[in-house]
Amino acid sequence: MTPLSDLTEYFSACKADIDEALETLLPSAPGCPSTIAKAMHYSVTAGGKRFRPVLTLAAADAIDSTSAMGSSRALALPFACAIELIHTYSLVHDDLPAMDNDTLRRGRPTAHVIFGDGLAILSGDGLLTEAFTVMAKTGSREDAEAMGRRLRAIGAVAEAAGAAGMVGGQAIDLEASGLNKQLASGPTTQLDADALLDMHERKTGALIKAAAVSGAIIAGGSDAAVNAIRIYAQNLGLAFQIVDDILDVEGAAPDLGKTAGKDAAAGKPTYPSLYGVEASRNHAAEAANRARDALRETGLESRLTQIVDWVVSRTR
Ligand code: GRG
């Protein structure tokens, strides 16, 4: 068996656990009105690779493999689900007419096309909030140390999702793409290399980093291990986003499950628009190498290493 087909099995097994857990934790009537429950369920169950929550589980597994404490899967799974809820909220809001105005996501009509703008906005709000409910639920026998780890992990996720992270990155994107109608109705802004990196690190990188770091923290990783996983995930996130930019240029909509070619059409700042496709591939490969190095230097080579190979070779 080649390592990547091995990873495919690992991915499928993790995804099955994540999908089952998501089904049980999504709010439903009569606990909440059935319209909002339906809208939230629609976007979460529309598909998606589950890359971020698998990363959370893989980071927890990597820490488990270095300690004698046993599996921390039960602790990591709620964080994995919370990350997916936050990611899905960001896609729902990103697709709105006031933002990217997209009609296809995960191979289905976007939430606002099916439910209308108002309910789509609320479903995103509901998903983001639910994520924190899920992470805050403690086990019956949690000691003070475990609670401390939970709080640290929640803090890392909150920071990544907020204005310093994903929300801030989206604001930069909106402004640079000239889509912020109140501030800049006119031309788009070409970001320079540093500004483009900053946008990507916030918009996509922050949540990917928090996915891995929260898994490592909740599994009881040492400061050194958590830090290595942070450096790994920061570079992995960058490679993931550069590949995403390249796929938007080269990919086909049926594979991607979203509208291809939208970045260029919207004048978005991307790696291919700044560097061209070939140089962008080199940037992704360099980031991937830095991610691998961070694991190797701390003895954390594991599924996390294989995930790097998948990120740079993915076609969807
Ligand atoms: C609205 C606060 C707010 C943020 C939006 C994530 C995001 C920020 C916007 C989505 C637009 C986009 C294509 C961003 C790049 C990030 C990205 C690659 C998203 C798609 O992630 P995948 O490929 O999607 O993991 P699936 O559907 O597989 O989960």
184 pLDDT band (50/70/90 cuts)?
very low
Structure pTM? 0.93
Closest C-alpha residue for ligand 1 atom 3: 90
Distance CA 305, CA 83 (A): 21
Neighbouring residues of 298: CB distance < 8 A, sequence distance ≥ 6: 224, 225, 228
- Partnered with residue 108 across adjacent β-strands are 105
Domains delineated in the chain: 4-313 (1.10.600.10)
User: Over the stretch 142-160, which tens digit does the pLDDT of each residue have?
Assistant: 899 999 999 999 999 999 9
Closest C-alpha residue for ligand 1 atom 5: 90
Q: Is 215 helix (H, G, I), strand (E, B) or coil?
A: helix
Closest C-alpha residue for ligand 1 atom 14: 204
| Ligand 1 pocket test target in 244, 246, 255, 307 with most atoms within 8 Å of CB | 244
Is 202 a pocket residue for ligand 1 (Cβ < 6 Å)? no
Question: Which residue in 39, 35, 155, 51 sits closest to 89, CA to CA?
Answer: 39
Ligand 1 center–CA 147 separation, angstroms? 30
Distance CA 136, CA 168 (A): 24
pLDDT score for 257: 64
161/252: higher pLDDT: 161
42 pLDDT band (50/70/90 cuts)?
very high
Is 93 a pocket residue for ligand 1 (Cβ < 6 Å)? yes
Mean pLDDT of 76-87: 98
**Is the pLDDT assigned to residue 54 strictly greater than 60?**
yes
Exposed e or buried b for every residue in 175-207, given b needs 16+ CB within 10 A? bbbbbeeeeeeeebeebeeeebbbbbbbbbbbb
The runs of H, that is alpha helices, within 95-182 are 111-115, 117-136, 144-161, 166-176
List, as one string, the DSSP characters of 18-84. Answer: HHHHHHHHS--TTTS-HHHHHHHHHHHTT----HHHHHHHHHHHHHHTTSSS---HHHHHHHHHHHH
Mean pLDDT of 241-256: 81
Is 203 a pocket residue for ligand 1 (Cβ < 6 Å)? yes
Do the beta carbons of residue 295 and residue 301 sit within 8 Å? yes
Is 170 a pocket residue for ligand 1 (Cβ < 6 Å)? yes
182/200: higher pLDDT: 200
Do the beta carbons of residue 271 and residue 283 sit within 8 Å? yes
pLDDT score for 181: 55
Is 37 a pocket residue for ligand 1 (Cβ < 6 Å)? no
Distance CA 284, CA 208 (A): 15
63 pLDDT band (50/70/90 cuts)?
very high
pLDDT score for 59: 97
Ligand 1 center–CA 200 separation, angstroms? 11
Determine how β-strand 104-105 pairs with β-strand 108-109.
antiparallel
Is 94 a pocket residue for ligand 1 (Cβ < 6 Å)? yes
End-to-end CA distance of the chain: 23
Is 96 a pocket residue for ligand 1 (Cβ < 6 Å)? no
302/12: higher pLDDT: 12
Distance CA 94, CA 256 (A): 16
